[in-house]
């Protein structure tokens, strides 16, 4: 047997190190060429690095969450002497030239870019024996990518399981219960709420969650936020939305409130330029943008992403809805491009039906403002001295008080309220 040291390859222009997100192998494992061995996250992408050779894993250099320098030994193999001949990386002492940022990260051969989700409690797919079930059901199953991968490797049809998570989501515990039952369909053991619980688990913050954490700290501690709340009567907007949805064509998406809010913001933003752009505090310079590029905060299985709908000012409501669906869907499936995830000048965050009554949204640094949209609900309100039922929606907004005065932020929200309460004005 021969020893082969595999070094972390250059996985992108200007990248000098990567964070170990997930190990797919352990010491003693026998791997084949092209088997996935580790997921590494850089500032530009998360990549899965495959094995360059057949062999046995001797050692792993780096724990989950550790930063590994490009060119340093990542994993050691025992091989049969047929280890591939891979050119050594250039001397690390040589300066790495950073070129203009590209929209797509260049990856060397045998390095596959893909989005990675790893359940914190499962560090390696469990090899188990389970009855072979033909995967033929077309029923939509809610499950994380980690659960799907584990089921696929165990040849288990997720559609045959009864998910015990929210909305029927299949969890790792459901797979465990399925296997323990000899392949019989059964749910995860019920939680005994009458039993006292103790103990805790440690979850290391790595990968995208670490990036989100760093960004939130940077925003919250470097930007003096002020928040402003308002309620909006969207009864007329709801009537317009229903009418358009009833008459929409087959190629037109079903409209939610967001496309109307996006168009309203694009319509009024020229009168509120101080709210659309970036504040680079290190240089003391505000960039006020004419284009309205709206970031849409999107929750995914991998964490919070902010895909961008660009140049909303040039769109109609159907175009805005289509692009909103496209970029948010790409973020959820992990297929969003770098261009889809950069360039926002103002951000909208909405939790839909879970929107609650109010919040204090954190600004997406280095932007200067963010709008939170809450669920619409029917409420009794007073109109002309009479109590009537109207459809009301709350808005929560935050602004960078260093460059936006309270009166300016309030004027933006009041202008938006006027547009939404009289939706014909959006299209005039």
State the catalytic residues.
401, 405
Give the whole-angstrom CA distance, residue 292 versus residue 308.
Answer: 10
Q: How far is CA 335 from CA 79, 113, 331, 339, 361, in A?
A: 36, 10, 6, 11, 26
Q: Among candidates 40, 42, 61, 38, which has minimal Cα distance to 50?
A: 38
Tokens of 295: 């970031």
Listing DSSP states for 251-288 in one string gives: TSPPP-HHHHHHHHHHHHGGG-GGGSEEEETTTTEEEE
Q: Among candidates 329, 285, 292, which has minimal Cα distance to 307?
A: 329
276-279 long-range CB contacts below 8 Å, 24 or more apart?
Answer: 276/345, 276/346, 276/368, 276/369, 277/345, 277/367, 277/368, 278/345, 278/366, 278/367, 278/368, 279/366, 279/368, 279/400, 279/402, 279/403
Interacting residues of 243 by C-beta distance below 8 A, sequence separation 6+: none
Residue labelled with tokens 């690095």 = 49
- Check whether the bond before 366 is cis (ω within 30° of 0): yes
Yes or no: say if 276 and 363 are a contact pair by the CB < 8 Å rule.
no
């Amino acid at each position: 047997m021969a020893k082969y040291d595999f070094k972390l390859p250059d996985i992108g222009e200007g990248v000098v190190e990567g964070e170990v997100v997930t190990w797919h192998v352990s010491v003693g494992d026998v791997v084949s060429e092209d088997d996935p061995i580790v997921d590494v996250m850089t500032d530009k992408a998360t990549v899965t690095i495959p094995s360059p050779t057949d062999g046995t894993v001797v050692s792993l250099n780096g724990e989950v969450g550790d930063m590994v320098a490009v060119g340093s030994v990542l994993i050691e193999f025992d091989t049969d002497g047929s280890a591939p001949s891979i050119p050594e990386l250039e001397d690390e002492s040589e300066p790495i030239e950073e070129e203009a940022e590209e929209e797509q990260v260049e990856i060397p051969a045998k390095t596959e870019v893909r989005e990675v989700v790893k359940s914190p409690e499962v560090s390696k797919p469990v090899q188990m024996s389970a009855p072979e079930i033909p995967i033929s059901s077309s029923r939509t199953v809610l499950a994380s990518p980690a659960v799907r991968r584990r089921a696929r490797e165990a040849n288990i049809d997720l559609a045959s399981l009864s998910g015990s998570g929210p909305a029927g989501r299949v969890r790792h515990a459901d797979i465990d219960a399925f296997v323990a039952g000899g392949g019989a369909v059964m749910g995860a053991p019920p939680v005994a709420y009458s039993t006292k619980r103790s103990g805790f688990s440690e979850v290391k913050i790595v990968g995208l969650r670490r990036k989100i954490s760093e960004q939130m700290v940077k925003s919250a501690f470097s930007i003096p936020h002020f928040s402003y709340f308002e309620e909006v009567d969207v009864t007329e907007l709801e009537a317009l939305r229903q009418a358009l949805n009833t008459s929409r064509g087959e190629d037109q998406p079903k409209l939610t409130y967001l496309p109307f809010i996006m168009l309203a913001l694009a319509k009024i933003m020229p009168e509120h330029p101080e709210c659309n752009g970036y504040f680079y505090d290190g240089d003391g310079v505000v960039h006020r943008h004419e284009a309205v590029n709206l970031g849409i905060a999107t929750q995914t299985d991998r964490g919070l992403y902010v895909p961008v709908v660009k140049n909303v000012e040039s769109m109609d409501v159907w175009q805005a809805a289509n692009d909103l669906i496209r970029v948010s869907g790409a973020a959820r499936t992990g297929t969003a491009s770098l261009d889809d995830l950069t360039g926002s000048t103002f951000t909208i965050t909405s939790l839909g039906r879970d929107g609650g009554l109010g919040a204090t949204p954190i600004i997406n640094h280095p932007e200067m403002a963010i709008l939170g949209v809450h669920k619409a609900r029917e409420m009794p309100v007073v109109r002309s001295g009479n109590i009537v039922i109207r459809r009301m929606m709350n808005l929560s907004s935050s602004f960078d008080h260093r460059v936006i005065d309270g009166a300016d932020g309030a004027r933006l929200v009041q202008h938006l309220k006027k547009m939404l309460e009289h939706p014909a004005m959006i299209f005039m």
